[in-house]
């Protein structure tokens, strides 16, 4: 080990025992180094082995069914971690090596105040009294940018926003001033503005604490801004590694080139987004050339018109009091037939509430939703029933939106039975299998359960379920935000193909501004329940008029 390197991973192989005679090799001889005071980015899609590598460093893999051979090594400051006892590893991890996990809400204990959770880390590794640890916890919260830390130290995790929860996780991770900080997808679910704040905070802490950072992500545009070195992984194997500048300017491996090309950018709108398989099979030169034009003209027919829509929630305040919170305030817009309206804004801006209210999944306190010359808000439940077929929604989380007890066939047949589509179950099953093929799945999927599919495949099943209704309007609520770049590209291509084929209209809700620019004809920007800007997408991205829109666009990685 050289004196310049903090950690060296040598021939790391990790095998999981899945059953009596079944093995899965998650890492297949991985080698990379983390130099002192540097940022190393570990990039790749889900299943590439990124998080397994981090879990192995932190000794968080289940010992009962994990095999790491004797010729593997993880050398940290001259000591092979794999040769340490369990107690030695536990003392090291948290003090000299710490980790920020992807989802702070599941990583923070919901029944303990955030200050107590930071105090626990401090007292476990440092000889501090409870009062000293509490004072240090307040200092840490101040350092990571939590407002009013003296008060917020007594807050529970659910009383904080997603960005604040992630800051608490960072405070816990740096509490003992580690030499290596592992950040596992720490910004994936965050808005672009919060993401930018978290990245700036991590880089500031790296400099002030003199630590190294292992940054795990699938977002290469983000990596381009922060990393000194890049390690690209695919299916447990390192495909390429080197200085960030050389990997980005002259990628050698087809997989690296694919990851760079799959991600939509705000300056190009290809007719079809490339996917990883295009590069791995040498088909990247066969992709259709040219760019897709976007926009809405006055001559385009209007399929949906929203006028002065209002939605208010009544939330508890104190022991017995309540207050009214306006989630959607006088929002008006028009959706053209066969076009896509992108709805953007930070968490809490009212995007999802707007989409659900239009579909009558929420009640509303005022306004109109005009579809086929009918105000949907003025219909009774029975009168609205026939319209449900025409307005469908794809939810954000494909893991939660599919019934785990139903087969895929049951999931697709149920809505067709409810709405009387086709005369027999055989006809419905034939239609369901056609839909599965249409979204890129084979008929074997019909008899399988949701847990047997990846996140991208589950989202395709959700799309197939919506298509079974033959809708005219589809609300896509953050439907690609949790997907890898390649799977995201596949789903976006599918949505575009369906729109071209069936003339469907989309309300595309997202906080990913690059994706919105790619797929949207018009964009509506929401902030605290209000519509602050509404224009053709090219015009809005070229000359944003509202200060909030300018702030969102300035936070896009790589811009």
Residues 78, 208 share a domain: yes
pLDDT of residue 377: 94
pLDDT of residue 538: 94
Residue 246 lies in a domain: yes
Residues 237, 168 share a domain: no
pTM above 0.85, yes or no: no
pLDDT of residue 482: 67
Domain of residue 23, CATH code: 3.40.50.300
Residues 190, 129 share a domain: no
Residues 473, 403 share a domain: yes
pLDDT of residue 164: 84
**CB proximity list for 356: less than 8 A, separation 6 or greater:** 362, 393, 477
Residues 387, 314 share a domain: yes
How buried is 343 (Cβ within 10 angstroms: 0-12 exposed, 13-18 middle, 19+ buried)?
Answer: buried
- DSSP conformation letters of 396-452: S-TTTSS-TTS-HHHHHHHHHHHTT-SSSHHHHHHHHHHHHHHTT--GGGGGS-GGG
pLDDT in tens, 442-470: 889 999 998 888 777 888 898 889 888 88
Measured between alpha carbons, how far is 490 from 45 in angstroms, rounded to an integer?
A: 13
pLDDT of residue 512: 85
Residues 146, 112 share a domain: yes
- Strand bridging mode 66-67 / 366-371: unpaired
Residue 449 lies in a domain: yes
* SS3 track for 18-87: CCCCCEEEEEEEEEEEEECCCEEEEECCCCCCHHHHHHHHHCCCCHHHEECCCCCEEEECCEEHHHCCHH
pLDDT in tens, 168-184: 988 999 898 899 999 98
The closest of 161, 186, 189 to 174, measured between CA atoms, is: 186
Residues 336, 187 share a domain: no
Residue 261 lies in a domain: no
Domain count, the chain: 3
Using 50 as the pLDDT threshold, list the residues of the chain that sit under it: 1
Average pLDDT, whole number, for the chain? 89
Residues of the domain holding 146: 107-175
pLDDT of residue 189: 64
Residues 308, 238 share a domain: no
Residues 375, 228 share a domain: no
Measured between alpha carbons, how far is 115 from 108 in angstroms, rounded to an integer?
A: 11
- Strand bridging mode 73-76 / 79-80: antiparallel
């Amino acid at each position: 080990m050289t004196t310049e390197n903090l950690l060296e991973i040598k021939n790391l192989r990790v095998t999981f025992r899945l059953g009596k005679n079944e093995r899965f090799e998650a890492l297949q001889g991985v080698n990379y180094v983390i130099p002192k005071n540097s940022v190393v980015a570990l990039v790749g899609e889900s299943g590439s082995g990124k998080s397994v590598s981090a879990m192995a460093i932190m000794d968080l893999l289940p010992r009962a069914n994990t095999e790491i051979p004797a010729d593997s090594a993880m050398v940290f400051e001259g000591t092979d971690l794999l040769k340490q006892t369990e107690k030695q590893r536990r003392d090291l991890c948290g003090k000299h090596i710490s980790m920020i996990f992807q989802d702070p809400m599941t990583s923070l204990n919901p029944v303990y105040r955030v200050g107590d959770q930071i105090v626990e880390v401090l007292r476990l590794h440092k000889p501090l009294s409870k009062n000293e640890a509490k004072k240090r916890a307040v200092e840490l919260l101040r350092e990571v940018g939590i407002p009013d830390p003296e008060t917020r130290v007594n807050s529970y995790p659910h009383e904080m926003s997603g960005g604040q929860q992630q800051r608490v996780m960072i405070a816990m991770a740096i509490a003992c001033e580690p030499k290596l900080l592992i950040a596992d997808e720490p910004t994936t679910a965050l808005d672009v503005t919060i993401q930018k704040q978290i990245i700036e905070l991590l880089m500031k802490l790296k400099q002030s604490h003199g630590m190294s950072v292992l940054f795990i992500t699938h977002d290469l545009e983000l990596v381009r801004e922060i990393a000194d070195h890049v390690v690209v992984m695919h299916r447990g194997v390192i495909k390429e590694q080197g200085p960030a500048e050389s990997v980005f300017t002259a990628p050698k491996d087809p997989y690296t080139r694919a990851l760079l090309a799959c991600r939509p950018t705000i300056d190009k709108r290809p007719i079809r987004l490339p996917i990883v398989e295009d590069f791995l099979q040498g088909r990247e030169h066969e992709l259709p050339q040219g760019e897709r034009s976007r926009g809405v003209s006055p001559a385009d027919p209007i399929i949906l018109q929203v006028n002065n829509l209002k939605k208010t929630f009544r939330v508890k305040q104190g022991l017995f009091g309540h207050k009214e919170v306006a989630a959607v305030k006088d929002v008006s817009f028009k959706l053209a037939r066969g076009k896509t309206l992108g709805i953007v804004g930070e968490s809490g801006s009212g995007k999802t509430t707007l989409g659900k209210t239009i579909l009558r999944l929420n009640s509303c306190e005022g306004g109109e939703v005009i579809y086929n010359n009918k105000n949907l808000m003025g219909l009774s439940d029975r009168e609205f029933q026939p319209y449900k077929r025409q307005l469908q929604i794809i939810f954000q989380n494909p893991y939660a939106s599919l019934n785990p007890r139903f087969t895929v066939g049951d999931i697709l047949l149920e809505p067709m039975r409810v709405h009387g589509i086709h005369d027999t179950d055989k006809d419905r099953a034939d239609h369901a299998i056609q839909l599965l093929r249409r979204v890129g799945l084979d008929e074997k999927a019909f008899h399988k359960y949701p847990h047997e599919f990846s996140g991208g495949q589950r989202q395709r099943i959700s799309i197939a379920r919506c298509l079974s209704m033959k809708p005219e309007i589809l609300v896509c609520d953050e439907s690609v935000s949790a997907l890898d770049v390649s799977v995201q590209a596949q789903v976006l291509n599918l949505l575009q193909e369906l729109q071209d084929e069936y003339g469907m209209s989309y309300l595309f809700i997202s906080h990913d501004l690059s994706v919105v620019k790619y797929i949207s004809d018009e964009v509506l920007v929401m902030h605290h329940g209000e519509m602050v800007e509404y224009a053709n997408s090219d015009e809005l991205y070229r000359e944003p008029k509202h200060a909030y829109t300018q702030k969102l666009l300035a936070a896009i990685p790589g811009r």
